[in-house]
Amino acid sequence: METADTLSQIWQHLGWPLLRLLFFISLGLLFANFIEALQWTRKIAIVAQPLTKFAHLSPLVGASFSMAFFSGVTANTMLSEGFDKQQLTKKELILANLFNSLPTYFLHLPTTFFITVPLIKEAAFTYIGLTFGAALLRTMAISLVSRLLLPKTDTKVQKPESNNQKNTLHTAWQRTWKRFKRRIRKIIRFTVPIYILFYFLTGVGAFEHLEQFMAQHLSFLSWLSPQAMSIIALHVAAEFTAGLAAAGALLADGTMTNHEIILALLVGNILSSPIRAFRHQFPYYAGIFKPGLALQLILYSQSFRLLSIVTVTIIYLVFL
């Protein structure tokens, strides 16, 4: 009986989540390769052309930006494929990954919106507006940095070069499937062991202890009220919804104002995001990119994310 329960737990918390992750990575890889095989990259890039033109980013980055509104896996796969084929330099890859911050935010916006509004009511609109402002700030800043660091590129949409063999759906799919089989082996080789490692680290409480350590050493936030500290501690030690639930209860009984609630949630966001990003992103990033590169991309993206959230938090604290 215990063996059956153990196997059930392993399936629910390791087997099924890992299969689901590999499924979505495979789907994103197939879609990205199929788009490229059909030579649609530049057509999709039209949506982001004004921004990419300003930022001196290539049409491939523009296509990835457009796809990031619908699938982060597909967007990252397009960047990884471009980097592997030397269509992107490492500098442009890092900037492109940061550039996709805004569509990535929109991808998760519906979930965030429908969780926050029922719990903290009107304060949700201000909180979401500030986090949206941070995402917009990141994209605008990266656009400016890219313009300064990268040489000007041809961002005009060009027709693919004609050849004797018509690029039919069938031939495009054949090329897609051939490349997919080669690439998915590499993805599985990295993703599966890393995901299993993170599962066992979670099982022994490694991340929980780290989050609790952070929650217990928040003395530098003594300028906040004890109620705000409780929200932040829950945000860090448990999860976003736990902090929101506490915020909703304190708001409902009049213990805290909207301003205090929003400030507490922003600080909780700043403190909790790096650990959770590494915990949830690294296993699948390491499958799409090489593990070392995946770690660099996460560090860069979280650094810029923290900087932008800190900026809007300071603006809200001082001016609003």
Quote the number of domains for the chain.
1
* Residue 157, helix vs strand vs coil: coil
Tell me the per-residue pLDDT of 5-53, one tens digit each, with 9 for 90 and over.
777 777 777 788 778 877 877 787 777 677 766 666 556 657 678 888 8
Which residues, 6+ apart, have CB-to-CB distance to 54 below 8 Å?
143, 147
- What whole-number distance in Å separates Cα of residue 35 and Cα of residue 64? 11
In a domain, 165, yes or no: no
Q: Residue range 287-304: average pLDDT?
A: 89
Which range, of 110-124, 180-194, 274-288, averages the lowest pLDDT? 180-194
Task: Write down the pLDDT at residue 158.
Answer: 47
Task: Write down the pLDDT at residue 159.
Answer: 47
* pTM, 2 dp: 0.73
In a domain, 109, yes or no: yes
In a domain, 164, yes or no: no
Tell me the per-residue pLDDT of 243-262, one tens digit each, with 9 for 90 and over.
777 788 777 767 778 888 89
Give the sign of the dihedral formed by CA 289, CA 295, CA 301, CA 305.
Answer: positive
In a domain, 12, yes or no: yes
In a domain, 127, yes or no: yes
What mean pLDDT, rounded, does the chain reach? Answer: 79
pLDDT band, residue 215 (cuts 50/70/90): low
Could you give the C-alpha distances from 119 to 39, 100, 206, 316, in angstroms and in order? 46, 29, 30, 21
In a domain, 20, yes or no: yes
Containing domain of residue 26, as a range?
2-151+173-319
pLDDT band, residue 162 (cuts 50/70/90): very low
pLDDT band, residue 221 (cuts 50/70/90): low
In a domain, 246, yes or no: yes
Work out the number of other CB atoms within 10 angstroms of the CB of residue 224. Answer: 16
Report the Cα–Cα distance between both ends of the chain, in Å, rounded. 59
Task: Write down the pLDDT at residue 147.
Answer: 92
- What whole-number distance in Å separates Cα of residue 279 and Cα of residue 17? 14
Q: Say if CB 136 and CB 147 are below 8 A apart.
A: no
